[in-house]
Amino acid sequence: MANAGLLDQLKFDEKGLIPLIVQDVENGQVLMMAFMNREALEKTLDTGKIHTFSRSRGRLALKGESSRHFQHVKQIMTDCDHDVVLIKVVQDVAACHEGYRSCFFNEYDTDAAEWKTVAERQFDPEKVYSK
């Protein structure tokens, strides 16, 4: 198959998974981290939209399947050990199911010794997920 060169050179762990970092190609913001199995990577390549292996649901998941906020693949990278995938995307609306552009919306405030929300919601999760 056409993408054997990509898949065969990646190292999946003992569960058949590889960590995925998704980054906004436009501004460099890290949007989320997830895991892929081989099938998720193949579907991502075939469709141009990020697919992950959802460990909580135990199945392949199209990112944005409920919200319709898809992630469109622009660049696929791997690291020195070929055991992490970094994909740069164009993000529709927002990545986080809590309504934020990025899942990384909590910053540690060292003075207060607590996590603080440092982003604005882009959508109302109750409206989007109740459709």
Binding positions for a copy of itself, rule: CB under 8 A: 2-6, 9, 19, 21, 23, 27-30, 32-33, 75-82, 84, 86, 96-98, 100, 103-108, 110, 112-115, 118
Cα 58 to chain centroid distance, Å, stands at 16
Which residue, 112 or 130, is less far from a copy of itself as judged by CB? 112
Identity of the residue, 68 or 82, whose beta carbon is nearer to a copy of itself in the bound complex? 82
From residue 17, give the alpha-carbon distance in Å to each of 8, 27, 34, 71, 82. Answer: 13, 28, 10, 20, 12
What minimum distance in Å lies between the beta carbon of 30 and a copy of itself?
6
- State the nearest-atom distance from the C-beta of 120 to a copy of itself, in Å: 15
List the one residue out of 67, 71, 26, 76 whose CA is nearest residue 52: 71
* CB 108 to a copy of itself: min, Å: 4
Closest approach, Cβ 115 to a copy of itself, in A, equals 6
Q: Which is nearer to a copy of itself, 114 or 127 (CB)?
A: 114
CA distance 66 to 52: 14
Q: Which helix (H) or strand (E) covers residue 40, if one does?
A: helix 38-47
Q: Is 28 exposed, middle or buried (0-12, 13-18, 19+ CB in 10 A)?
A: exposed
Q: Which is nearer to a copy of itself, 58 or 80 (CB)?
A: 80
